[in-house]
Amino acid sequence: MSENLKSKAELEKPVTLEIEGKKFQYPTLKGTEDEKGFDISALRAQTGYITMDNGYANTSSCQSSITFLDGELGILRYRGIPIEQLAEKSNFIEVSYLLIYGHLPTQSELSQFKADITRHTLVNEDLAHLLSGFPRDAHPMAILSAATCALSTYYQDSLNPADPEQVKQNITRLMAKLPTLAAFAYKTSIGQPKIQPKNDLDYCSNFLRMMFAVPSEEYHVPKEVADALNLLLILHADHEQNCSTSTVRLVGSSAANIYASITGGICALWGPLHGGANQAVMEMLEEIHKDGGDVNKYVGLAKDKNSTFKLMGFGHRVYKNFDPRASIIKKACDQVLNKLGVNNPLLEIAKKLEEAALKDSYFIEKKLYPNVDFYSGIIYSALNIPVNMFTVMFAMGRLPGWIAHWKEMTENTSTKIGRPRQIYTGPTKTDYTPISQRRGK
Ligand code: ACO
């Protein structure tokens, strides 16, 4: 184990593994919140064995000081600060600074961070034109990932992950330009002219204006809408080693540049088992609504082993009690809809579905609770964000988390390229068969 590892987590007594009659000792580690692990870096070299861990459910891929979550107790903290406090008192830009740079900013640090981001919101016109080449019905996540990767081509002189100044510049560019690209992707899909950023607006208002303004009319961003977006982005900002963040780390571990690494995260987030669940939840609620609103029928379907139907927005790899983000969003949902005077029948269906599932022994025994995506889509709909943009909104929120993890990883001198092993189950040595002698399967 490296010195760097030793200096961070506290070392405890080693564990002893007995393999084929021989005993081997492995150092244990204890994190600041008492989570325990043992370091098997030397396992294969000493024993010839590797571990098998489907979905990495028991594998710590790194040590990290960014986000703590306890799935049993429903705790989520960014840099030690409870999510409930950040949701109530902070804003997305401050939270982004906290995640990326490790502490709450002073007034001057925050002002500088905001000013830097504001100055970089424009995207190169050539890149903006590139977006027009996508088909109208292209999924905006495809456009966002392509555009994010394409950003690297405009900054080829500053892509060195080991240069802190270049990294800082790229962090600013990503934070500044992702909302512009996201809004441009949407405008392209509906055939409207792109609306350029307006730098006297705050981060969320600027994005909403780029989404909803048209050149022919004045547009004022309703404060309630910007506040609701701000809350959702804070709740999405980080979630330790989830699928997309682990992807960012894995891509970045090869020393790929930050744009390529974040693009990997965007693609991983797209899947319906991860960030794409917010779109899938709305589609599911819509289907239940059209089908007469019988939630018990769908709870039954989700339990049926012969059906592939799952309750989208339910269940989580880590939360086995409740998802603290879902609790905050559920409360906000009622408030936002009231403030905006929106009456969405899907909210009633969502509440009934939650109630029915939480009473059901299948969901109780498997510890399946609503996750962050269960109610977020209803708020996004109330803000007039189209369903296929939901996962893009999630990506905008998760961006500072991805950046923070990429930065933490590249700054850690003990980082190794991510390269899991496998238990091979294919054919043993087989000779090449000439095509004339092959029989089809
Ligand atoms: N509906 C019905 N059954 C479910 C659900 C669900 N939403 N989620 C899990 N289960 C069942 C599984 O079928 C499995 O049953 P089994 O033990 O009889 O085989 C058991 O509960 C355990 O579930 P796994 O899928 O093994 O748990 P895992 O940790 O691998 O997956 C996941 C977690 C992907 C979130 C899963 O719960 C799921 O697919 N949920 C729906 C999609 C979703 O909402 N994703 C968003 C997650 S939050 C986020 O990424 C932002």
In the reported structure, the alpha carbon of residue 121 is separated from the centroid of ligand 1 by a whole-number distance in angstroms of 38
Q: Which tens digit of pLDDT belongs to each residue from 301-316?
A: 999 999 999 999 999 9
- Give 187-199 as a DSSP string: HHHHTPPPPPP-T
- Using the predicted structure, report yes or no on whether residue 3 has a pLDDT greater than 60: no
**Angstrom distance (rounded) from CA 279 to CA 348:** 18
Residue with the larger pLDDT of the pair 251 and 382: 251
- Annotated catalytic residue 373: yes
pLDDT (mean) for 369-373? 90
Q: Is the pTM of this model over 0.85?
A: yes
Inform me whether the pLDDT recorded for 113 exceeds 60. Answer: yes
What angle, rounded to 10 degrees, do the helices at 164-190 and 107-119 form?
50
The minimum-distance atom of ligand 1 relative to the CA of 310 is 1
pLDDT value at 8 more than 70:
no
Asked whether residue 10 carries a pLDDT value surpassing 70, the answer given is: no
Say which residue, 334 or 243, is predicted with more confidence: 243
Q: Is the pLDDT of residue 15 over 50?
A: yes
- Measured from the CB, is residue 302 less than 6 Å from ligand 1? yes
**Per-residue pLDDT tens over the stretch 152-189:** 999 999 999 999 999 999 999 999 999 999 999 999 88
pLDDT at 2: 42
Concerning whether 220 is annotated as a catalytic residue, the answer is no
pLDDT single digits (tens) 145-159:
999 999 999 999 999
The answer to whether 384 touches 207, Cβ cutoff 8 Å, is: no
Residue, of 47 and 375, whose pLDDT is higher? 47
For the CA of 274, the closest atom of ligand 1 is 50
Distance CA 321, CA 411 (A): 34
The answer to whether 70 touches 32, Cβ cutoff 8 Å, is: no
Say yes or no to pLDDT of 1 above 90.
no
pLDDT at residue 4 greater than cutoff 70: no
Specify the pLDDT at position 235.
Answer: 97
Q: What stretches of 191-322 show up as alpha helix (H) in DSSP?
A: 203-212, 223-236, 243-252, 258-270, 277-290, 295-303
pLDDT score of 241: 97
- Nearest Cα to Cα of residue 393 among 216, 156, 215, 230: 230
Query: Region 316-331: what's the mean pLDDT?
Result: 91
More confident residue, 227 or 5: 227
Please, what is the average pLDDT of the chain? Answer: 94
Contact yes or no for 357/326 (Cβ under 8 A): no
* 273 within ligand 1 shell (Cβ under 6 A): yes
For residue 132 the two structure tokens come to 């027009």
Q: What pLDDT, on the 0 to 100 scale, is given for residue 441?
A: 79
Q: Please tell me if the CB atom of residue 377 comes closer than 6 angstroms to any atom of ligand 1.
A: no
List pLDDT tens digits, range 335-349.
888 888 888 899 899
Decide if pLDDT at 261 tops 80: yes
Contact 90, 66 (CB under 8 A): no
Quick check: 242 pLDDT over 60? yes
Q: What is the pLDDT of residues 53-90, one digit of tens each?
A: 999 999 999 999 999 999 999 999 999 999 999 999 99
pLDDT surpassing 60 at residue 5: no
Mutate to test the pocket of ligand 1, among 314, 376, 393, 398 (most ligand atoms within 8 A of CB): 314
Find, among 95, 196, 174, 195, the residue nearest to 396 by Cα: 174
Could you say which of 139, 274, 316, 405 is catalytic?
Answer: 316
Please indicate whether residue 167, judged by its CB atom, sits closer than 6 Å to ligand 1. no
Atom of ligand 1 nearest to the CA of 315: 37
Ligand 1, atom nearest to 371 Cα: 48
- Over residues 263-285, the pLDDT tens digits come to 999 999 999 999 999 989 999 99
Task: Kindly state if the Cβ of 329 falls inside 6 Å of ligand 1.
Answer: no
- For position 344, what pLDDT does the model report? 86
Residue linked to tokens 């891509």: 251
DSSP letters spanning 387-412 = GGGHHHHHHHHHHHHHHHHHHHHHH-
